Amino acid sequence: MKRMTLMKNLTLLLIACATVSAALATESASAPVKSPFHEPLQWKSTGPLIAATSDTNHHLVSIKDPTVVRADGKWHIYATVANTAQEWNMVYFNFADWSEAGSAKQVYLDVANPGLRGYHCAPQLFFFRPQKKWYLIYQSQPPTYSTTDDIAKPETWSAPKFFFAAEPKGTPKLWIDYWIICDDKNAYLFSSGDDGRWYRSRTKLEDFPNGFSAPEIVMETPERYDLFEASCVYRIKGMDKYVAFIECIGKKGNRYFKSFLADRLDGKWQPLHATEADPFAGLNNMTYEAGAKPWTRDISHGELLRDGNDETLTIDPAHLTLLYQGLDQSVPTDTEYSQLPYKLALLRQDVSAK
């Protein structure tokens, strides 16, 4: 009798354990996995680190839209510059440490590479491993690219080539700010239209840089300034997720970034810090580093420093630094856009605020 009672109790215990295990498994499977980007973000900004450098033939007023990678022990930056004649082009410079950024020699691409004379701006830079080539993506106005084996030699970039032979169906009137990121199967081209819509095209990885589909709308808002331009998309290191941030214009005309999260590059994007009051990066969640005086009203077009430099555009969420363009608060708000004297600075994640 005791033996039967013991067996019965053991059976009941096993059933109870199985029930608890199943419940825990169900709870674990249904519980949303939060990324570090769900937490409140706080930043500390440097003062202006990089200004446009003029010479007798280049009367520059701004440097903006930076793209940045680390390679061969140096930071390599390509950026847009605008001159007093309201013309746009690009510059290149490199340095080993950020303390050297302001004194690094800026090379004008229209001088170093005759093929890049004329209107080319808003660059993005990455190393495409399948072809073992560097790609520079930019607007000319259509999405355009050049390739090289050595990013430190801007004279070696190939002649500009359009991604599309003709303007594809669904192209916005003002198609700008092109951004490419790849997963293990496809390359995705994200873009803006200054129209409250965010666009995406794609091609198979083996077909890149050819074969891109017509742009489709990923997200849209009724107010164009609420989803404006300058989008960046990154793979989050250690997670099977992607984060995007998109520049918006606030109620007083100041620029800031909203952020969104997705499981796939072709998936649905969920808002994270997506209001002016709770931005990804903006005046409401930044202070200044010791010794830096408040100087900018805008947190505008920039790039996160990446964990690597390849086509996956991976970032480390534990070490967030944003190279951005800022604008002195004393500049009149009615200044013509090309004449706004943007400078470049760094936002570093303020971990002490947590």
Element containing residue 66 per DSSP (H, E): strand 60-71
Instruction: Look up tokens 């604008």; give the residue.
Output: 327
Provide the CATH number for the domain formed by 42-353 in this structure. 2.115.10.20
Report how far apart the first and last C-alpha atoms of the chain are (Å, whole number). Answer: 61
Question: How do residues 37-70 score in pLDDT, each as one tens digit?
Answer: 778 899 999 999 999 999 999 999 999 999 999 9
Q: Does residue 29 or residue 86 have the better pLDDT?
A: 86
Residue 23 has pLDDT above 60, yes or no: no
Residue 11 has pLDDT above 50, yes or no: no
Percent of the chain with pLDDT over 70: 89
**DSSP string for 239-288:** SS-EEEEEEEE-TTS-EEEEEEEESSTTSPPEESSBSSSSBSBSGGGEEE
Nearest of 147, 248, 163 to residue 201 by alpha carbon: 163
Residue 159 has pLDDT above 50, yes or no: yes
* Contact indicator for 297, 329 with CB cutoff of 8 Å: yes
Question: Hey, where are the domains in the chain?
Answer: 42-353
Residue 354 has pLDDT above 70, yes or no: no
Residue 84 has pLDDT above 50, yes or no: yes
Question: How do residues 271-298 score in pLDDT, each as one tens digit?
Answer: 999 999 999 999 999 999 999 999 999 9
Element containing residue 325 per DSSP (H, E): strand 321-326
Give residue 352's pLDDT: 75
Residue 8 has pLDDT above 60, yes or no: no
Nearest of 177, 176, 175, 138 to residue 160 by alpha carbon: 138
Question: How do residues 90-121 score in pLDDT, each as one tens digit?
Answer: 999 999 999 999 999 999 999 999 999 999 99
The set of residues, in sequence order, having a beta carbon less than 8 Å from that of 223 and lying 6+ positions away, is 196
Give residue 300's pLDDT: 98
Question: How do residues 246-255 score in pLDDT, each as one tens digit?
Answer: 999 999 999 9
Q: What is the mean pLDDT of the chain?
A: 91
Residue 229: HSE in the Cβ half-sphere, 13 Å Cα cutoff:
17
Give residue 17's pLDDT: 42
* Contact indicator for 193, 199 with CB cutoff of 8 Å: yes
* Contact indicator for 262, 37 with CB cutoff of 8 Å: no
The whole-number average pLDDT for the span 116-145 is 98
C-alpha 337/C-alpha 99 separation (Å) is 29
Total number of residues shown for the chain:
354
The set of residues, in sequence order, having a beta carbon less than 8 Å from that of 138 and lying 6+ positions away, is 90, 120, 121, 122, 123, 124, 144, 145, 146, 160, 178
The set of residues, in sequence order, having a beta carbon less than 8 Å from that of 28 and lying 6+ positions away, is none
Lowest mean pLDDT among 14-18, 42-46, 172-176: 14-18
Question: How do residues 300-339 score in pLDDT, each as one tens digit?
Answer: 999 999 999 999 999 999 999 999 999 998 999 899 999 9
The whole-number average pLDDT for the span 223-236 is 98
Give residue 36's pLDDT: 67
Q: Does residue 332 or residue 13 have the better pLDDT?
A: 332
Cβ-in-10-Å burial (0-12, 13-18, 19+) of 127 comes to middle
The set of residues, in sequence order, having a beta carbon less than 8 Å from that of 186 and lying 6+ positions away, is 202, 203, 204, 205, 265, 266
Taking the complete model, does pTM exceed 0.85, yes or no?
yes
Give residue 337's pLDDT: 95
